[in-house]
Structure 1
Amino acid sequence: MSPAARWLAGAALAAMLALGGCAPFASHGPDAPSGTQAGEVPMLRLPPASLGRTLQLQQQITVQYPSPQGEQTRDLLALLEADAAHTRLAAVAGGQVLARLDWDGRDLRVTRAPWAPPELLPERILNDLQLSLWPVAAIQAALPAGWRMEASAGLRQLRAGDEVVAEIRYPDARTTLFAQHRDGYRLTIRTLQEQGGAR
């Protein structure tokens, strides 16, 4: 299981047990972009203002990942606030906060509950969040050579050469399906409550 899948699964599991999505992903594809280590998936750190709107979201995240025991599924609640100055995310389980992230375009601040697993990867959560929500033009401008973001109605694909590394689908206005093919995990993100400015 990949580091991100371990974090997301471990976060949900640890919280459920206690209370009742930084090392980049290493990958093995042949199309390594210049400026990264061989096959490494680039990590986005887009300025909050590049989102171009404000958001307040409450989202249910279901994580699916492979394991020796077969496919595993875990759930957690994410609270997202984004404006021109900050991107903030809280992971919640059992009514208590498991971890918080605050990104102001310069510094990434993370706090964890004592029971949070050591695999917690805030940079990967921020990256997947920005791949899903930020404008395609802002994502494309931040990608290194050899990488690109392709978008069509209801679909985004992060590509390294001809390889589809990650795929994001939007089957309806409140659902995001995120598949990270290199690392084998999938996220189903359902928006429960939303307040946000115009796109």
Structure 2
Amino acid sequence: MAALLLVAAAGCAGRTPDTDAAAPLLGPEQRLALPRPADLGRTVEAAQLITGTRDGETFVFEGHLSVTPERFLLVGLDTMGRRAMTVTWTDAGLDVDAAPWLPPAMRPGSMLADLVVLYWPEAAVRQALAPSGAVLTTGPRTRTVQVGGRELLHADYGWDPGAPWTGTLRYRNRAWGYEIEVQSREALP
């Protein structure tokens, strides 16, 4: 689900946006216009332990993020170390490889949409949200996305804006009905 991760993956072209697990949706009918990986403005290598709750079920997985100006890469592993998904996003497009056993609620495209909203700079996020009519509001350690006055996503950060992604991030995506806690550690150069 958060680092639960848009544009159609190979073999998924016949699906509608709501059923395409690779579509970058913040919620049903809430497509995110992806910026570029370079719009993050820096290179990042981070490891994350993600705990998600939805409908009384808890999911735990490990995420490895690598972002360069040329490429975004997310590798998600389950608690047994099996690769659950790989999401590769470049200026040329998106490639999603999800394990057949991955639960349908764990939508790689939605994970990517969440990650962009959570981590990309405010200006890039505002531009990515604009086509859907969603609005970003920020505070010292918070971000909220609303559409039509209804909250879609709210995040509370354990680090200051612009600081390394090291600490705890808690967010809820009301549109998809899940809550996430991310224990993150960014590798420093």
Q: TM-score, normalised by structure 2?
A: 0.76
- In the alignment, which of 40, 58, 61 is matched to residue 47 of structure 2? 58
Structure 1 counterpart of 2:151, one-letter code = V
Residue 133 of structure 2 corresponds to 146
CA distance in 2, matches of 1:160, 1:119: 22
Distance 2:188 2:136 in 1: 24
Provide the residue aligned with 1:185 in structure 2: 178
1:157 matched to which residue of 2? 144
Alignment of 1:14-163 (within 5 A): 22=20, 24=25, 25-26=27-28, 40-66=29-55, 71-93=56-78, 94-117=80-103, 120-143=106-129, 144=131, 146-163=133-150
Query: Quick one: structure 1 residues 159 and 47, their matched pair in 2 at CA, closer, same or farther if it must change by over 3 Å?
Result: same
Mapped to 2, the partners of 1:42 and 1:153 lie a distance apart of 26
- Structure 2: gaps spanning 5 or more residues: 6-19, 160-165
The answer to which of 180-189 and 111-120 deviates more is 111-120
Hey, which of these two has a bigger chunk of helix by percent?
1
Residue by residue over 1:78-137, the C-alpha shift from the partner in whole angstroms, topping out at 9 and shown as x without a partner, is 000001000000011212322111000331112233433455522111101111100011
- Counterpart of 2:158 in 1: which secondary structure? strand
The one-letter code matched in structure 2 to 1:88 is L
Report the CA distance shift for 1:121/1:79 in structure 2 as closer, same or farther (over 3 A): same
Count of equivalent residues: 162
Bigger Rg, which one: 1
Q: Which amino acid aligns with 2:125?
A: I
Among the aligned pairs, what percent are the same residue?
27
